[in-house]
Structure 1
Amino acid sequence: MNSSYATGEPSRAEVDALSGPTLVEFGTAWCGFCKAAQPLLAEALVDAPSLRHLKIEDGSGRALGRSFKVKLWPTFIFMRDGQELGRLVRPGSAELIRQELARLELAAS
């Protein structure tokens, strides 16, 4: 799990070209909802050590977040091979995150 938000962002084409399971997290370090979600995310990711986790700082004028139509933080986009398979906005439990991770695993089968 990445602990800090990257201020530089990949292009949408680069994200869409990623193979395998990927979690793209949008938020900011100062966002209270983002801070509250971090322990939940850490708990859920314990069982997904090989998951690629992109933690992207979002905000006005940030192209990647706009391309995913992010409106609230944190937003978690669950992808496999460049395709969005699930999305959570301000998740309230680690279980919700685990459910989306399980969907990523099912998509691999």
Structure 2
Amino acid sequence: MGHCLAKPKNDGDDSDHNVEFAGGNVHLITTKESWEQKLAEAEKDGKIVVANFSASWCGPCRMIAPLYVELSEKHPSIMFLTVDVDELTEFSTSWDIKATPTFFFLKNGQQIDKLVGANKPELQKKMVAILDSESPCQT
């Protein structure tokens, strides 16, 4: 499945910056403080967090972004975040991002799953597994 490796930084190119990565219930993270604030909010509300580490120049990131926005609208019980790896380089490095997109699934701030690459079926499968693990058994 598609993913992008690190690209040389081009400070002059911020055209159509992040436009397609936010929308629906996706929160665009632009600072480490906003990341910590959203994680605290999710923990307080008992929500799972899906964090999409992506880049505006990455084709596979752009390809999967509409699905990510759609999933955020379909599952309001989950918090969806997007981090631009070029904007938050040091922060992304601290998460050991080697390719974009990389999706982290977090509960109480702890990683419970991870997906590297724009693999739509796998992303949907992981979403279903997480939703199943969260919903109480019905009799």
TM category (shorter chain) comes to 0.7 to 0.9
The Cα of 1:59 is off from its aligned counterpart by: 2.7
Q: 1:91 aligns with which of 118, 121, 132?
A: 118
**SS of residue matched to 1:69:** coil
Map 1:1-109 onto structure 2 (within 5 A): 2-3=22-23, 6=28, 8-11=30-33, 14=36, 17=40, 18-19=42-43, 20-59=47-86, 62-93=89-120, 95-105=121-131, 106=133
Structure 2 residue identity aligned to 1:79: L
Distance 1:104 1:7 in 2: 22
Q: Select between 64-73 and 38-47 the one with higher mean Cα deviation.
A: 38-47
Query: Of the two, which has the highest radius of gyration?
Result: 2
Report how many aligned residue pairs link the two structures. 108
Distance 2:50 2:104 in 1: 6
The Cα of 1:61 is off from its aligned counterpart by: 6.7
TM-score by length of 1: 0.74
Distance 1:107 1:59 in 2: 33
TM-score by length of 2: 0.61
Distance 2:99 2:80 in 1: 19
Compared CA separation, residues 43 and 21, structure 1 to 2 (3 A): same
Distance 2:58 2:128 in 1: 27
Q: Identity of counterpart residues, as a percentage?
A: 21
Structure 2 residue identity aligned to 1:10: K
Distance 1:34 1:5 in 2: 16
CA contact (8 A) 2:29 2:82 kept: no
Distance 2:54 2:107 in 1: 21
The Cα of 1:48 is off from its aligned counterpart by: 1.1
CA contact (8 A) 2:27 2:80 kept: no
